[in-house]
Amino acid sequence: MEAASFALIAHDLKNALGSLEGELEALIDDPSPAMAHSAYMRCTELRRQFVQFLTVYGAADGIHTHCEDESPKDLLEQIYRAGQIRRLSLPHAPRVAMQVPENAPPYWYFDQRLVHMALDAALHNASRFAREQVTLGLREEDGYLVFTIDDDGPGLGAADPSSASTGLGTALCEAVAQAHRSGARQGRIDLRNRPEGGARFELWLP
């Protein structure tokens, strides 16, 4: 990670900690369930960002994978359930749907922990921009396993509605994808606008 990027991310995390400190200080004088819930969600988000930061920045010689035969559908269902739980905590969060074709590969060789982290980050990014719904999917194409996350937001290039974003999510996804190799082939991510509106994230694993 470049020094300039490191400085920007550290600055954003410092500001987020300062904001959380202010919320906790206000709770001392005026305890309320709503404010406590807001502080808890901010703590959860900060923890997620720190884990992403340590995964990307701590891997000076690249992320190392520990791949095993895994069920892509089971992993996607875990991400789906996490999105459903998040919606219960945050009613304004978009709906999360899941669409898996019958011919989707039942097993694939990948690092479940890292891919779970990447998809969680991609879902979080999509949820920030989505108007009403985020859709999870997977397929096999050209010998790659492809996880997809679609949103119905304004598309790529739109102003980020979140003041707490560090940009770590995309960097993490790219690092996880590139850590997966099979012979001369390497994983990758793809971001593009959808013809029907919104954006699509794809994680390609060889």
- Asked whether residue 63 is domain-assigned, the answer is no
- Asked whether residue 62 is domain-assigned, the answer is no
Task: Examine the domain organization and report whether 37 and 73 are in the same domain.
Answer: no
* Structure tokens belonging to residue 203: 């994680």
Task: Examine the domain organization and report whether 145 and 53 are in the same domain.
Answer: no
Q: Compute the mean pLDDT over every residue in the chain, rounded to the nearest whole number.
A: 84
Count, residues in the chain: 206
Task: Examine the domain organization and report whether 81 and 129 are in the same domain.
Answer: yes
Higher pLDDT, residue 61 or 79: 79
Task: Examine the domain organization and report whether 101 and 52 are in the same domain.
Answer: no
Question: What's the rounded Cα separation, in Å, for the pair 111 and 128?
Answer: 26
Domain of 46? Answer: 3-57
Task: Examine the domain organization and report whether 9 and 105 are in the same domain.
Answer: no
Helix (H) or strand (E) holding 140: strand 133-141
Contact 136, 123 (CB under 8 A): yes
Task: Examine the domain organization and report whether 82 and 47 are in the same domain.
Answer: no
Task: Examine the domain organization and report whether 76 and 148 are in the same domain.
Answer: yes
Percentage of residues of the chain with pLDDT beyond 90? 47
Task: Examine the domain organization and report whether 49 and 130 are in the same domain.
Answer: no
Confidence of residue 117 (pLDDT cuts 50, 70, 90): confident
**Residue type at position 148:** T
- Site of tokens 């074709």: 101
| Average pLDDT, integer, range 161-188 | 82
Contact 140, 195 (CB under 8 A): no
Confidence of residue 21 (pLDDT cuts 50, 70, 90): confident
CATH number of the domain that residue 183 is part of: 3.30.565.10
Count how many domains the chain has.
2
167 CB-near residues (< 8 Å, 6+ apart): 8, 9
Higher pLDDT, residue 174 or 58: 174
- Predicted pLDDT of residue 103: 93
* Structure tokens belonging to residue 145: 């396993």
157 forms beta bridges with: none
Say if pTM beats, i.e. exceeds, 0.95. Answer: no
- Predicted pLDDT of residue 9: 60
Within 13 Å and on the Cβ side, how many CA atoms surround 195?
A: 0
- Predicted pLDDT of residue 24: 82
| Average pLDDT, integer, range 132-142 | 96
| Average pLDDT, integer, range 150-154 | 95
Question: What's the rounded Cα separation, in Å, for the pair 40 and 34?
Answer: 10
Q: Over 90: is that where the pLDDT of 152 sits?
A: yes
- Asked whether residue 23 is domain-assigned, the answer is yes
Task: Examine the domain organization and report whether 108 and 164 are in the same domain.
Answer: yes
| Average pLDDT, integer, range 102-111 | 95
- Asked whether residue 167 is domain-assigned, the answer is yes
- Asked whether residue 86 is domain-assigned, the answer is yes
65 CB-near residues (< 8 Å, 6+ apart): 110, 111, 114, 179, 180
Task: Examine the domain organization and report whether 27 and 100 are in the same domain.
Answer: no
Task: Examine the domain organization and report whether 77 and 40 are in the same domain.
Answer: no
Backbone dihedral region for residue 45 (phi beyond 0: left; psi -120 to 50: alpha; all else: beta): alpha
Q: Over 50: is that where the pLDDT of 90 sits?
A: yes
Question: What's the rounded Cα separation, in Å, for the pair 66 and 64?
Answer: 7
Task: Examine the domain organization and report whether 186 and 158 are in the same domain.
Answer: yes
| Average pLDDT, integer, range 40-50 | 73
